[in-house]
A and B are shown apart, each in its own frame.
Chain A
Amino acid sequence: MIALAAILAVTGATVGLGAYGVRFARTTSDLFVASRAVTPWWNAAAISGEYLSAASFLGIAGLQMKLGSGALWLPLGFTAGYLALLLFVAAPLRRFGAYTISDFAEARLRSPRLRTLSAAIVLLIGGFYLVPQLKGAGLTLGEVVGAPYWVGVVAVGGVVALNVALGGMRGITYVQAFQYWVKTFAIALPACLLLLHLGGLPERAAMFGRDYPRAPDGGLAVTLPGPTRATFPDAARVRAGGRELSVRAGERVLLPAGRVELPAGTAVPVADGTDAQTGVDWSAPVSAEGDASPLFVYSLLIATFLGTMGLPHILVRFYTNRDGPAARRTTVRVLGLLGLFYAFPAVYGALGRVLVPQLYLTGETDAVVLRLPEAAWPGLGGELLGALVAAGAFAAFMSTASGLLVSLAGAATHDFRRGVPRSPARRRLRFRLAALGAMVVPALLALVARGLDISVLVGWAFALAASTFCPLLLLGIWWERLTARGAAAGLVVGAGAATTAIFSGLVLEPSDRTLDALLTQPAVLSVPLAFATMALVSLSDRPARRPPDAELLALHAPEGLGLGLEEEDVDAVRA
């Protein structure tokens, strides 16, 4: 009940702040890009708030618990992505004065068709990224109040869609900044208090040594929602479905739905999709093969390093910076704020491994952050901390989903149909309808994607972004010979290669670990392919197709010389 109250408080505060923002949202320009007077600290907190999604709040710890400490490369990649953005994109793009990637594509290469293609990819990436947020919402509400999975999906989807439709982005800059601090507080405080309460790390042998996670003194009772195949790392005698069952080491058994009792000291069996690991294997960030193989780690780092800049909801935020240098200052602050947050998920993954090992059997390791506080600290203390992490998780879905939805609705209203309605009221109405409509498909997908890990789903969005918008932005900003045809070809090839790999990985489930890793995380192949296509097709184009220097000047000329698109020009164009 405390947790439900905390969730309602966060949701209420979000909607309230959004509603407060409505009063400022007078023009379309306000709706899309809040006034440019937002300071770098506010902006950095807003960017971080928008970025820290269900994948960061629940997914990293969940994946770490499930697969091992190789998952901890994720937060490094998530943060490093902002360094790539800082080095190559932040300042030039802000100077260019485009609101979205589609704006950039059209204006830089003078091709309205490229705008439509980019918008389609925005919808694809944004949709991919919304699904895990909604999945997290369904999972959290289920853990906290025992609601069916679909209730959380529908509730959060509805609240976010309404909030975006009514508030626009002016509200959201401050809402997102607020959400960053909610999330950081909600993950940091319980982590520190739990470590203090436990007096350090318990059961180190199962965490870092040569032991498996085992049922605690007094045994472990798990209720399985359905029949579950599980592998027992050690020989054991268990009670399942009311009968005694004796299992050999390494045996894979079909456990019936219902109560399973593991006597004290039994090595906890693991559901299909996970390998039982001893602490030594589990805690190694890199291993010879599998989910922490160097190939997989590098592919993941590449996808996140290059994919961040291509996420549609991230770039929009950079236009709320006053000028190019402010965009750089903002990004440096983002690196610091993200680092602060990412110090903590690993605590949950490690403690969860020994304190809520039943998640290995149910397969729902994504719930580890939510379950840990009450498991580690039975009583009121754990309950309060549990309420805090639940509220933080909700802040995570709400903020990321809101940001994504603003971008999706923007793309849907502006980029597909020619001719914007003249009256502001009709324009607003169209944006609002698009915001509601863009939530429907991801919500439906989230209802069927329950079995997939949040971090895996998010990884796809990154791989897709890295294989499409990353080459478009990097070559568009820094290479004068890029042409519209080259860009279009690269976008199509990159998106095609990444989606094909991901879906064939899902369908084929290859037994070869290296191949499986490559299909799950295809960036290491699809990104170079997209770059090469873009460059080669552009080079084969007639030089006359190359746009003139004016665009390059607008991207790179420092402020104060009257050369680029200065503030007044941009406003005049948009008016």
Chain B
Amino acid sequence: MSAPRTPRDELAEATPHGGLYLRRLIRSQLGLSMLALVAFGGFLGSLPLALYLLPGLHDVDVLGVPLPLVLIVLPPFPVFVAFGWLYARRAQALEQAFRELVEPRE
């Protein structure tokens, strides 16, 4: 008797069944990326609008520099790194889950 077929075999042989697994993986990764994109786009995209709608911020000084300038020069970059780091961690976890799904270890 041959060993039971795992999803990995279905994927390797490109059966319709394997195709389902593949699409599920792509959808889950794409979902995560889109979520990150929306969150990030919301953050970066709202910045010009906020500064446009709140011209009064110009009168607020931070160490002698108007607040809008400070806001676009310094804080966004650490936020970018945080977004990237969180995303990379989640993407890694999704891949690990996929590995365990298609090649269950006994």
Number of interface residues of A (CB under 8 A): 55
A151 to chain B, nearest CB (A): 35
Chain A residues proximal to chain B, CB less than 8 Å: 69, 72-73, 76, 79-80, 82-84, 86-88, 91, 200-201, 204, 208, 280, 283-286, 294, 297-298, 301, 305, 324-325, 328-329, 331-332, 335-336, 338-340, 342-343, 346, 478, 480, 548-550, 552-553, 556-558, 560-563
Taking a contact as CB atoms under 8 Å apart, the answer to whether A208 and B66 are in contact is: yes
Which residues of chain A are within 8 angstroms of B14 by Cβ–Cβ distance?
Answer: 548-550, 553
Which residues of chain B are within 8 angstroms of A562 by Cβ–Cβ distance?
Answer: 8, 12
A341 to chain B, nearest CB (A): 10
Which residues of chain A are within 8 angstroms of B91 by Cβ–Cβ distance?
Answer: 91, 328
A83 to chain B, nearest CB (A): 6
CA–CA, A87 to B40, complex, Å? 11
Taking a contact as CB atoms under 8 Å apart, the answer to whether B58 and A87 are in contact is: no
A72-B73, A73-B72, A201-B65 known; A553 vs B48 contact (CB < 8 Å): no
CA–CA, A283 to B37, complex, Å? 29
**Contact residues of A: prevailing secondary structure:** helix
Taking a contact as CB atoms under 8 Å apart, the answer to whether B99 and A336 are in contact is: no
CB < 8 Å: which of B23, B26, B72, B84 contacts A285?
Answer: B72
Interface size class of B (residues with CB under 8 A): 35 or more
Which residues of chain A are within 8 angstroms of B52 by Cβ–Cβ distance?
Answer: 286, 294
Q: Name the residue on A nearest B40 (C-beta).
A: A83
A159 to chain B, nearest CB (A): 32
Taking a contact as CB atoms under 8 Å apart, the answer to whether A208 and B22 are in contact is: no
CB < 8 Å: which of A83, A87, A297 contacts B48?
Answer: A297
CA–CA, A167 to B87, complex, Å? 36
What is the 8 Å Cβ interface bit string for chain B, positions 24-41, against chain A (1 contact, 0 not)? Answer: 011001100100110010
Taking a contact as CB atoms under 8 Å apart, the answer to whether B44 and A76 are in contact is: yes
CA–CA, A79 to B82, complex, Å? 13
CB < 8 Å: which of B23, B55, B69 contacts A69?
Answer: B69
CB < 8 Å: which of A335, A340, A553 contacts B22?
Answer: A553
- Nearest 4 Cβ contacts at the A-B interface: A339-B77, A558-B95, A332-B84, A87-B33
A335-B80, A335-B84, A343-B73 known; A87 vs B36 contact (CB < 8 Å): yes
CB < 8 Å: which of A69, A298, A305, A549 contacts B19?
Answer: A549
Q: Name the residue on B nearest A69 (C-beta).
A: B69
CA–CA, A496 to B70, complex, Å? 38
Taking a contact as CB atoms under 8 Å apart, the answer to whether B22 and A332 are in contact is: no
Q: Name the residue on B nearest A327 (C-beta).
A: B88
Taking a contact as CB atoms under 8 Å apart, the answer to whether A339 and B44 are in contact is: no
A297-B48, A343-B77 known; A556 vs B99 contact (CB < 8 Å): no
